[in-house]
Amino acid sequence: MDWKVLATTFGMIFLAELGDKTQLATLAFASNSKSPVAVFLGSAGALVLTSLLAVVLGSMVSRLVPSNYIKLGAGGLFVLLGFWMLLFPGGK
């Protein structure tokens, strides 16, 4: 196991997830639930499953597309989504 990759991945994902919509949704569920353990297990399970899908798909795509193109594509998608949210905020 590559401990440097593990630590880097953990740190980046941890920082990226702080204060995001998923964390806020989990906070809202926990505040309305009488079973915080169930909320934790549900949210942790969902994060693990989405991470598994990302790793599996990323491994498959990386066989066909060079990693620098994947990084450029992901960065470009984030920029496009950011512009989309600025132009069409979706409020009433």
Q: How many domains does the chain have?
A: 1
Please indicate, yes or no, if residue 56 is contained in any of the structural domains: yes
Please indicate, yes or no, if residue 10 is contained in any of the structural domains: yes
Please indicate, yes or no, if residue 45 is contained in any of the structural domains: yes
Confidence of residue 92 (pLDDT cuts 50, 70, 90): low
Structural tokens at position 68: 């620098």
Its domain, for residue 12, covers 3-87
Q: What is the pLDDT of residues 29-76, one digit of tens each?
A: 999 999 999 999 999 999 999 999 999 998 999 999 998 999 899 899
**Cα dihedral sign for 70, 50, 43, 88?**
positive
pLDDT computed for residue 34 by the predictor: 93
Mapped onto helix, strand or coil, the DSSP state of residue 74 is: helix
Is this model's pTM higher than 0.95 or not? no
Q: What percent of the chain has pLDDT over 70?
A: 98
pLDDT computed for residue 44 by the predictor: 94
Please indicate, yes or no, if residue 41 is contained in any of the structural domains: yes
Q: Is the pLDDT of residue 4 over 90?
A: yes
Confidence of residue 20 (pLDDT cuts 50, 70, 90): confident
pLDDT computed for residue 69 by the predictor: 94
